[in-house]
Amino acid sequence: MKTELTPELLYKRHGLSYPQIDSLLGSNHKDLYQRDIMENFKIIREFIMVTDEFRKMDIRFISLKGPLLSHRIYNDVTVRRFHDLDILVDFSDISLIYNLLVQRGYSKDTELLADENMNQKLHDYLKHISFFHPHTKVCFEIHWKISIDKCIFNLDFDSIYKQIATDQVFMSRNFRVLNKEYDLLYLLVHGSDHKWQRLKWLLDIKDYSRNVPFDRLKVDNLAKKHKVSRIIPLYNLVASKYFHDPQLFDTKQKVPALLFRSCIKQIEAREVIFYTERTISDSFSDFVYAFLLFPDLRSRLAYLKNKLICYYDVKNIKTTNAILLILYRPFGLIFRNFHGVRKEK
């Protein structure tokens, strides 16, 4: 890495916790870790309270990443740092959850609308709504899709809940989480989709592989089944650059060198930026990266659809006509940039 892996860089830029940093660098940050534990417990307390409300309202949900991933990997919910609490739900329950979180004082990044056609576009062109509490600083991301522009996990919620999720006991409660092989596959897809720009995502895979018993052949077969098999050799390449014991997968598959270079460029950038207006050059680079990483035709078409139509345009021009939305797309980018609305999905 061009920049030295200092504790400050790993903590602030790459999202590692102090136990993870100490494990990598042989340092000692017990005092700072104690401070973080208290903050983690505040988030976990809210996670428990909100999900208890879900149960009272008979809302089924699946926890993604967050405290339960830390519990699965380390048998300790405080080791892995998390900021957003990601929860997958059935879209039919979104209005109930929306009202519940708003009543609890959360602000939201997207409004639910009275028009059913407009909310269908919300379902089609977004994958989640973010809720942020201004006082507790807790953020929930309520998902109705795991991935918006990949064919992976293109099952409906009921199928995911019953077929590829399992129970995990925490705080004397049963939580639904993805089974181990699908959970690992999801982490690989998520990290590679974001070009592994945080080292914490690489470390998740490394420590998952070391600490959690799972069927490696099944993960490989699932990646092939869902046409995302390049995520595995890409992880091997990137993890080998940054870790001494990266827990590599057994694969002989090659990946285009451009994928590896794109990831290294993102990892070594000074800041992680998720939601900004992208330059034309950035957008083209993302386009090439996605087409190389997920070469399946269906995934490429889904990616194009996601990029050509934006939900925020639906709200601006009050239409659900796909052709009009595609034509309006460049004007929508200019409009939102001019008005300071910088979020894109």
Match 């999720």 to its residue by tokens: 165
Q: C-alpha distances in angstroms, 277 versus 131, 337, 338? A: 21, 7, 11
Contact 204, 187 (CB under 8 A): yes
Report which residue type is found at 224: K
CA distance 155 to 235: 25
Task: Look up residue 14 and give its two tokens.
Answer: 């790459």
Report which residue type is found at 126: L
CA distance 332 to 129: 20
Contact 21, 7 (CB under 8 A): yes
**CATH topology for the 1-178 domain:** Beta Polymerase; domain 2 (3.30.460)
CA distance 223 to 317: 39
Cβ count within 10 A of residue 237:
18
Task: Look up residue 259 and give its two tokens.
Answer: 């994928």
Closest listed residue to residue 230, CA positions, set 177, 285, 299: 299
Domain ranges of the chain: 1-178, 179-284
Residue 28: φ, ψ to 5°:
-140, 110
The confidence score (pLDDT) of residue 284 equals 82
Task: Look up residue 214 and give its two tokens.
Answer: 């799972």
Closest listed residue to residue 99, CA positions, set 66, 139, 54: 54
Closest listed residue to residue 43, CA positions, set 11, 98, 80, 95: 80
CA distance 105 to 107: 7
Contact 286, 278 (CB under 8 A): yes
pLDDT tens across the length of the chain (345 residues) = 456 789 999 999 999 999 999 999 999 998 899 888 988 899 999 999 999 999 999 999 999 999 999 999 999 999 999 889 999 999 999 999 999 999 999 999 888 877 777 777 778 878 899 999 999 999 999 999 887 665 566 788 999 999 999 999 999 999 999 999 999 999 999 999 999 999 999 999 999 999 999 999 999 999 999 889 999 999 999 999 999 889 999 999 999 999 999 999 999 988 876 554 456 677 788 889 999 999 888 888 878 877 777 766 666 666 667 777 777 777 766 665 565 544 444
